[in-house]
């Protein structure tokens, strides 16, 4: 007998060999219809999986988001099936489900073209219509190797060679069989909606030394409506793309003639940057940071000492000779900050010492990775280097991390992806230093009560770190905040940093690199997408545009704009010879928070008619009242 415990705690008994599907049927018709796969003792299984003994069973239905994972995995198989029908000599690699879809890496004789994608999609529809049942065969690993060898599935053979399981499984649907752990949906006819999205290159096992395979991306959903909604969501997200909005809102530009990855901030973008920088300066001074400024080029000597020339050379621009001495454009701010630290012998009483700079650096990035403002070659890091004693390192890290979270929250970033990266195999520094600082980082995260992932061994060779990533409009993560320990630069063989401890002896301080925004360019790019270009009043380049109805009202409109600027607000006057509706449309498209329309009535009553960018009419009011609204918006950062 099979004793089956269901999620509600109830237990049912069935004859040995009863399938998951039969259990579902015995409970209810609807459940049997909606069940996609089962989960036995926490492990996903097929509906035809036979039950025996004492088991916990959960049925995963279409209504559960995780069922999409299994659907998409199965659609990846259908895609591979279609590809093999059309291009029989294709070799298959791996085809997993991912967020919102799936992909399959394969090695065809010729790379896929967009037309191929259409053909593949059409062939997939035939597979779905044929409604092939998906079946499983467990075989010995050695047999599987033989089979894959015979079919020239080289990548599968390679994978099998690395697995240690005695038995592996194949899944078959119609004329197609694939090495796969499963489980799969019951039959190909149960795929209601899918679409192939793109074909790209992808290295085998993600290593650029390996052969580049072709990756086909697709998406699949339980209904045509959901598929449409997904495609619509992607379209909407594209409208928030910072590169598109950057052009439309006249925020920044990048010029082929000057070079890729080199950003030009236009007046409207630069205004916002200035607001951010002002806030940044204020918050740093408040927290005891000391502002410094360091040069943009430096003698190679400094990068020999720092080790950058040794470890970071690929990202640095070539040397320029100045009076026969090689100089480099700086890729990092740390050497400069360290030299400032080293001009004095410091007491433990002075630590933590926090040197901060909006420091512009230049790094060589391969042309293929440049991406608007999010990945560039010249950027300004909101950098700080903190020199701290082992004793106070824990509190300092808590403060730094809290600072980062508070800073991001100021801009409405609440949904953060946080990673703690620990000691890698190849590393410098004493084990106890690693241990102590990893503990401090972990403690800071736990104190803040945030969710985070631990990336074991993912730290830099010189120290452990916390990274905070923010998502762009298409869901791609970009690293912004970072808190990184460095056991390399302070060491004897590098800069040999020191402070005098309580006992009067020379000690080596810990050094922490940290950035809240990462770089102003990246942060601004993500910020544009985050707000969809509709910046809150405190950030908006123009907070209010004054719109005179006719020429006769220009002097009064001018007065209003001047008065607002006098009061510290950013106000424009649109005195062009255009109709009111035209000016309102343009100010709205520029996402200016407020439009102040002034005509005969307003001039006479000494008032302004206030319209919000969303279209809401706030009515007429005195300029004092409007200034209060602005003040309140700025205070609340809305």
Binding status of residue 600 toward RNA by CB under 7 A: yes
Cα–Cα distances (Å) from 38 to 5, 48, 50, 53, 305, in that order, read 13, 9, 11, 16, 60
Binding status of residue 208 toward RNA by CB under 7 A: yes
Applying CB under 7 A, among 202, 329, 621, 630 the residue interacting with RNA is: 202
Asked if residue 610 lies in contact with residue 568, where contact means CB atoms within 8 angstroms, the answer is no
State the Cα–Cα distance between residues 526 and 530, nearest whole angstrom.
6
Cβ closer to RNA: 237 or 340? Answer: 237
413: three-class secondary structure by DSSP: coil
Least spacing, CB of residue 602 vs RNA, in Å: 5
Binding status of residue 558 toward RNA by CB under 7 A: no
**Segment 341 to 370, residues that bind RNA, using CB under 7 A:** 363, 365-370
State the Cα–Cα distance between residues 305 and 301, nearest whole angstrom.
6
- Hey, how many other C-beta atoms are within 10 angstroms of the C-beta on 614? 9
Cβ closer to RNA: 81 or 482? Answer: 482
Binding status of residue 420 toward RNA by CB under 7 A: no
Least spacing, CB of residue 467 vs RNA, in Å: 6
Task: Supply 457's token pair.
Answer: 């061994």
Q: Which stretch binds RNA (CB under 7 A): 206-214, 282-290, 535-543, 628-636?
A: 206-214
Applying CB under 7 A, among 272, 302, 444, 515 the residue interacting with RNA is: 515
State the Cα–Cα distance between residues 89 and 108, nearest whole angstrom.
7
Instruction: Give just the sign of the alpha carbon dihedral 149, 154, 158, 159.
Output: negative
Q: Which stretch binds RNA (CB under 7 A): 33-41, 202-210, 281-289, 389-397?
A: 202-210
**Segment 93 to 122, residues that bind RNA, using CB under 7 A:** 111, 113-114
Asked if residue 391 lies in contact with residue 413, where contact means CB atoms within 8 angstroms, the answer is no
Least spacing, CB of residue 372 vs RNA, in Å: 5
Q: Find the DSSP H helices in 342-421.
A: 393-410
Applying CB under 7 A, among 140, 320, 550, 562 the residue interacting with RNA is: 550
Task: Supply 392's token pair.
Answer: 């106070």
State the Cα–Cα distance between residues 58 and 40, nearest whole angstrom.
7
Q: Count of residues binding RNA (CB under 7 A)?
A: 75
Cα–Cα distances (Å) from 610 to 19, 383, 583, 623, 632, in that order, read 68, 41, 14, 10, 15
Binding status of residue 409 toward RNA by CB under 7 A: no
Asked if residue 245 lies in contact with residue 234, where contact means CB atoms within 8 angstroms, the answer is no
Applying CB under 7 A, among 371, 410, 439, 631 the residue interacting with RNA is: 371
Applying CB under 7 A, among 14, 48, 87, 203 the residue interacting with RNA is: 203
Least spacing, CB of residue 240 vs RNA, in Å: 12
Q: Which stretch binds RNA (CB under 7 A): 219-227, 394-402, 515-523, 629-637?
A: 515-523
Cβ closer to RNA: 371 or 637? Answer: 371
Binding status of residue 589 toward RNA by CB under 7 A: yes
Least spacing, CB of residue 594 vs RNA, in Å: 10
Least spacing, CB of residue 512 vs RNA, in Å: 14
Query: For the chain, what percentages of helix, strand and coil (3-state, to nearest 5) are there?
Result: 40, 30, 30
CA nearest to 87, candidates 102, 73, 104, 101: 104
Applying CB under 7 A, among 224, 476, 565, 606 the residue interacting with RNA is: 476
């Amino acid at each position: 007998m099979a004793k089956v415990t269901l999620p509600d705690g109830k237990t049912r008994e069935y004859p040995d060999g009863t399938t998951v599907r039969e259990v579902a049927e015995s409970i209810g018709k609807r459940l049997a219809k909606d069940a996609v796969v089962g989960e036995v003792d926490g492990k996903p299984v097929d509906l035809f999986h036979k039950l025996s003994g004492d088991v916990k069973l959960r049925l995963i239905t279409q209504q559960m988001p995780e069922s999409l994972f299994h659907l998409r995995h199965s659609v990846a198989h259908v895609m591979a099936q279609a590809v093999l029908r059309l291009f029989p000599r294709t070799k298959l690699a791996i085809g997993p489900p991912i967020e919102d879809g799936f992909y399959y890496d394969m090695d065809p004789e010729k790379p896929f073209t967009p037309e191929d994608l259409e053909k593949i999609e059409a062939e997939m529809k035939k597979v779905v219509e044929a409604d092939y049942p998906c079946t499983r065969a467990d075989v010995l690993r050695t047999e599987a190797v033989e089979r894959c060898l015979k079919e020239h599935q080289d990548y599968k053979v390679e994978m099998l060679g690395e697995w240690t399981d005695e038995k592996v499984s194949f899944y078959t649907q119609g004329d197609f069989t694939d090495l796969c752990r499963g489980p799969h949906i019951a039959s190909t006819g149960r795929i209601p909606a899918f679409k192939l999205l793109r074909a790209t290159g992808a290295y085998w096992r993600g290593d650029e030394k390996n052969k580049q395979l072709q990756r086909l991306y697709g998406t699949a959903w339980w209904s045509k409506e959901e598929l449409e909604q997904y495609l619509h969501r992607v379209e909407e997200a594209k409208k928030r793309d910072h590169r598109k909005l950057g052009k439309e809102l006249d925020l920044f530009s990048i010029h082929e003639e000057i070079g890729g990855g080199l950003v030009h901030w236009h007046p409207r973008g630069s205004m916002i940057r200035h607001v951010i920088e002002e806030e940044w300066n204020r918050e740093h001074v408040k927290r005891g940071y000391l502002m410094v400024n360091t040069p943009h080029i430096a003698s190679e000597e400094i990068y020999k000492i720092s080790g950058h020339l040794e470890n970071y050379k690929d990202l640095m621009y070539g040397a320029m000779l100045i009076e026969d001495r090689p100089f480099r454009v700086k890729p990092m701010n740390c050497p400069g900050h360290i030299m400032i630290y080293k001009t004095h012998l410091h007491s433990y009483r002075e630590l933590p010492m926090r040197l901060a700079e909006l420091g512009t650096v230049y790094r060589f990035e391969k042309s293929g990775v440049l991406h608007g403002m999010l990945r560039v070659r010249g950027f300004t890091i909101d950098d700080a280097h903190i020199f701290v004693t082992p004793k106070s390192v824990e509190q300092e890290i808590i403060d730094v991390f809290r600072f980062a979270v508070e800073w991001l929250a100021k801009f409405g970033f609440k949904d953060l992806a946080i990673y703690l990266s620990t000691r890698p195999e190849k590393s410098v520094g004493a084990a106890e230093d690693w241990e102590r600082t990893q503990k401090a980082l972990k403690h800071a995260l736990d104190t803040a009560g945030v969710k985070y992932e631990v990336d074991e061994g993912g730290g830099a060779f010189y120290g452990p770190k916390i990274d905070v990533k923010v998502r762009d409009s298409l869901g791609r993560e970009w690293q912004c905040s970072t808190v990184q320990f460095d056991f390399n630069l302070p060491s004897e063989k590098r800069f040999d940093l020191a402070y005098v401890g309580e006992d009067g002896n020379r000690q080596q301080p810990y050094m922490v690199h940290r950035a809240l925004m990462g770089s102003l360019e990246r942060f601004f790019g993500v910020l544009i997408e985050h707000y969809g270009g509709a910046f809150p009043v405190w950030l908006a380049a123009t907070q209010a545009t004054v719109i005179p109805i006719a020429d006769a009202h220009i002097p009064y409109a001018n007065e209003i704009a001047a008065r607002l600027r006098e009061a510290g607000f950013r106000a424009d006057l649109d005195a062009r010879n255009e109709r009111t509706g035209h000016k309102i449309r343009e100010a709205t498209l520029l996402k200016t928070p407020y439009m102040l329309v002034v005509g005969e009535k307003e001039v006479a009553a000494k008032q302004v008619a206030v319209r919000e960018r969303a279209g809401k009419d706030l009515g007429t009011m005195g300029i004092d009242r409007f200034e209060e609204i602005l003040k309140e918006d700025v205070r609340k950062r809305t």
